Amino acid sequence: MPKLETTFQYIDTESGLNTLITRLGQAERIALDTEADSLHHYFEKVCLIQISFDGNDYLIDPLSKIDLSGVLDVLSTKVLIIHGADYDLRMLRTSFGFQPQGEIFDTMLAAQILGYEHFGLAALIQRYLDTTVTKQGQKSDWSVRPLSPMQLDYAYTDTRFLEVIANRMTAEMDKVGRCDWHRETCQSMVLATAHDTIRDPDDLWRIKHIGQLTRQQLGYLRELWHWRDQEARQADRPPFKILHNQHLFTLATWTAENPDQPVTGAGPLPRHINGKRLELLKTAVQKAAALPEAEWPEIKKRVRSKEVFPDDTKDIDALREECARIAKSLGITASVLAPRAAVKSVIRGDARTIEDIITHGPLLSWQATLIEPAVTRIMTIRDERERAMNAATDAPTPSSLPPAVDVSAS
Instruction: Provide φ and ψ at 105, rounded to 5°.
Output: -110, 105
Q: Is residue 109 part of a domain?
A: yes
Q: Is residue 236 part of a domain?
A: yes
pTM: 0.88
Check whether residue 143 and residue 244 sit in a common domain. Answer: no
Total number of domains in the chain: 3
* Segments of 68-210 assigned E as strands: 79-82, 104-106
Q: Is residue 403 part of a domain?
A: no
pLDDT single digits (tens) 15-24: 999 999 999 9
Check whether residue 188 and residue 40 sit in a common domain. Answer: yes
Check whether residue 174 and residue 269 sit in a common domain. Answer: no
With b for 16 or more beta-carbon neighbours within 10 A and e for fewer, the 5-44 pattern comes to: eeebebbeeeebbeebeeebeebebbbbbbbbbeebbbeb
Q: Is residue 407 part of a domain?
A: no
Of 311 and 163, more confident: 163
Check whether residue 69 and residue 148 sit in a common domain. Answer: yes
User: Residue 268 carries which DSSP code?
Assistant: P
Check whether residue 35 and residue 157 sit in a common domain. Answer: yes
Check whether residue 30 and residue 171 sit in a common domain. Answer: yes
Q: Does residue 409 surpass a pLDDT of 90?
A: no
What range does the domain containing 323 cover?
305-392
Check whether residue 94 and residue 185 sit in a common domain. Answer: yes
Check whether residue 27 and residue 129 sit in a common domain. Answer: yes
Q: Does residue 305 surpass a pLDDT of 60?
A: no
Check whether residue 47 and residue 154 sit in a common domain. Answer: yes
Q: What is the pLDDT of residue 208?
A: 85
Of 265, 295, 325, the residue at which a domain comes to its end is 295
Taking the alpha carbons at both ends of the chain, their separation in whole angstroms is 105
Of 376, 379, 319, the residue nearest 343 (C-alpha): 319
Of 369, 325, 362, 329, the residue nearest 343 (C-alpha): 362
Check whether residue 104 and residue 226 sit in a common domain. Answer: no
Q: Is residue 83 part of a domain?
A: yes
Place 312 in a pLDDT band, splitting at 50, 70 and 90. confident
Check whether residue 42 and residue 122 sit in a common domain. Answer: yes
